[in-house]
A and B are shown apart, each in its own frame.
Chain A
Amino acid sequence: MSIAPVMTQSEPRVVLTARGLGKDFAGFTAVNNVDLDVEHARIHALIGPNGAGKTTVFNLLTKFLQPTRGKITLLGQDITQTKPDKVARMGLVRSFQISAVFPHLTVRENVKVALQRPAGLAVQFWKPLSSLDRLNGRADQLIDDLGLTPYRDHRAADLSYGRKRVLEIATTLALDPEVLLLDEPMAGMGQEDVRMVADIIRDVAQTRAVLMVEHNLNVVADICHHVTVLQRGEIIATGDYATVSADPRVRTAYMGTE
């Protein structure tokens, strides 16, 4: 298991916390009393049966949904009332369950869109498109890191499902986020792609925190340092994979069905 090379692991650094997080939809409680601590240079998995509220938790943490109860802190700052785009600028960037790419842009353009804002090249309506050429180097670097170089000039819509997910990760990494939230990054992928994406995630987690929703328990067991199990919107177990998988409640609720 890889440990961050630069960090001293004696004092784990918590970068994202949730306390008593809850969300009601018209009388139905989707998420209730969720506490989370996501640490730097760690991969934290959020698992649970369908409808357990995993994606809702993601939407709450990234502020795409406003929590009904509870408090969220990112890098020491309270973001409970912050807007989602601001949260992204503060360093918490998410991916989506359904692959989120810009379909009619090329692979390179997709990555460049993410690079434009940090480079201060997003509002210039009087400059030609060629002014974005200076982002090519950084974009191509990311594309190469994730093995997408042969598809650099393909439109994202023409990529296979697995490569779209990889492109999404490349775009997310372009922002160099402190905390990365990945919503089922390997759903619907073939075995080989799963292997590749797992390696990528392990690699990027050396310098940042990763929180991921994942159904593939082999992957979770393999790369995740910490696992939180959600059922009907509440946490039923949390700890490392061995602890969690031994928990009788988890076995009945989730793994027992395997």
Chain B
Amino acid sequence: MAGKSEPIASEHIAIHPKAGQIQLVLLAVIGAALLLAPQFLYPIFLMKLLAFGLFAAAFNLLLGYTGLLSFGHATFFGGAAYFTAHAVKVWGWPPEAGILLGVLGAAALGLVMGAIAIRRQGIYFAMITLALSQMFFFFCLQAGFTHGEDGIQSVPRGTLFGIFNLSDTMTMYYFVLAVFVIGLLIIWRFVNSPFGMILKSIRENEQRAISLGYSVSRYKLGAFVMSAALAGLAGGVKALIFQFATLTDVSWQMSGEVILMTLLGGIGTLAGPVVGAGLVVTLQNYLATSDFPVTIITGVVFMVCVLVFRRGLIGEFFASRLGRRLGFRSES
């Protein structure tokens, strides 16, 4: 296959006739694994996986499907965690209302940050989002309701819809799983919609999209707000899982971590960022007890990823012969 350009090469791999069924079986196996997982693994760890998986998938909506690299997504994740925690703890709101506030708050922050940042492209876009998220970090450091370095602690999980007691770990796990699945479904629909089609065309050829009469910045802003809102959904849930909202979640390191997760797993795929988040969170968990500094390991993993499998784990699999036979496609 050497010497041929990729699009031509991809034509010669026929999709397996039963690819659709195989995909469904895979999905069912993953679904069953997620339902049974808390029987075998520490539920808090699993919930952390799901929350960060959703966060990374939301971030990927922007990087993978819109082609915008935001370096400020911690603002939406951590900001929503503060909003949810405050609403639930101080105002005594039920968890669903608290999470909704987190989502709306993150969307509002996304509207402001997006409206400012999308005027510029590439590295300038990334720098503006970084600068604005640093401003938000210092706001959170100083503002009264966040309790500065202490964060908002012992946030009650409450009772979902007045029926499900989330203090029960298993109930909480299935609630988080449901939010995770709904979040991914929203992303999937968003990407595979008329709007998603325009986003894709903008990513492929922005000048051409403009010349067809699309006001490109509005579409980018729409994707930015959606991505921020879903990151907020992940953040709000995270605050309830750990019953804690902290400065760590709005720090620039968190913005960097989500980029790492997404690139590791594979941008432009729905599953990639989730797998990447799983890998990073697992590494952090296992290395937390060892003397070896986590950041060195994750840094090395990242370098290996960039050098050896640039498409990310899932991205490489989708692009492989087997992946293409099974009918998988990466969007970038």
Contact = CB atoms under 8 A, between A and B. Distances in A.
Interface of A: 62, 64, 83-86, 88-89, 93-96, 100-105, 109, 112-114, 116-117, 121-129, 131-132, 155, 157-158, 171, 175
Contact of B193 (A84, A103, A124): A124
Interface in B29-60: none
15 contacts: A83-B215, A85-B213, A88-B211, A88-B212, A102-B204, A109-B197, A113-B197, A113-B201, A113-B212, A117-B212, A122-B214, A124-B195, A128-B192, A155-B7, A157-B7
A129 to B, nearest CB: 5
Given A101-B205, A102-B205, A158-B11, A122 B198 contact: yes
A125 to B, nearest CB: 4
A129 B197 contact: yes
A83 B11 CA distance: 40
A163 B11 CA distance: 18
Contacts of B213: 85-86, 88-89, 93, 117, 175
A104 B329 CA distance: 11
A220 B216 CA distance: 35
A104 B331 CA distance: 9
Interface string B1-29: 00000011001000000000000000000
B208 A122 contact: no
A62 B210 CA distance: 10
Contacts of A95: 211
Interface string B185-202: 000011011111110110
A171 B201 contact: no
Nearest to A117: B213
A64 B216 CA distance: 13
A158 to B, nearest CB: 5
A121 B196 CA distance: 11
B66 to A, nearest CB: 12
A100 B200 contact: no
A103 B200 CA distance: 11
Residue among A83, A102, A125 with the highest chain B CB neighbour number at 10 A = A125
Interface residues of B, number: 28
Contact of A125 (B8, B195, B204): B195
A101 B222 CA distance: 23
A7 B226 CA distance: 49
Grouping DSSP codes into helix (H, G, I), strand (E, B) and loop, the B interface class, with mixed when no group exceeds half, is helix
A240 B203 CA distance: 41
B210 A85 contact: yes
B211 A84 contact: yes
Contacts of A89: 213
Nearest to B6: A157
Contacts, number: 105
Contacts of A116: 194, 197-198
A175 B208 CA distance: 13
Interface string B272-285: 00000000000000
A125 B226 contact: yes
Nearest to B190: A125
Contact of A100 (B7, B190, B194, B207): B207
Contact of B212 (A104, A127, A131, A175): A175
A124 B219 CA distance: 11
B277 to A, nearest CB: 24
A140 to B, nearest CB: 17
Closest 7 CB pairs of A and B: A88-B213, A125-B195, A100-B208, A89-B213, A102-B204, A157-B7, A85-B215
Given A85-B214, A85-B215, A122 B195 contact: yes
Contacts of A94: 211
Contacts of B8: 158
Given A85-B215, A102-B200, A102-B201, A126 B189 contact: yes
Contacts of A83: 215
Contacts of B207: 64, 96, 100
A123 B208 contact: no
Q: Counting chain A CB atoms within 10 Å of each CB, which of B8, B192, B194, B204 scores highest?
A: B194
B216 A123 contact: no
A152 B201 CA distance: 17
Given A85-B213, A123-B222, A128-B193, 18 more contacts: A85-B215, A93-B212, A94-B211, A100-B211, A101-B205, A101-B208, A102-B208, A105-B204, A113-B209, A113-B212, A116-B194, A117-B212, A117-B214, A122-B194, A125-B193, A127-B194, A129-B196, A175-B212
Given A62-B211, A100-B207, A113-B212, A129 B193 contact: yes
B189 A128 contact: yes
B201 A105 contact: yes
Given A100-B208, A122-B214, A123-B222, A132 B197 contact: yes
Given A102-B200, A116-B197, A171 B212 contact: yes
A171 B189 CA distance: 26
Contacts of A101: 205, 208
Nearest to B198: A122
A115 to B, nearest CB: 10
B192 A129 contact: yes
B205 A100 contact: yes
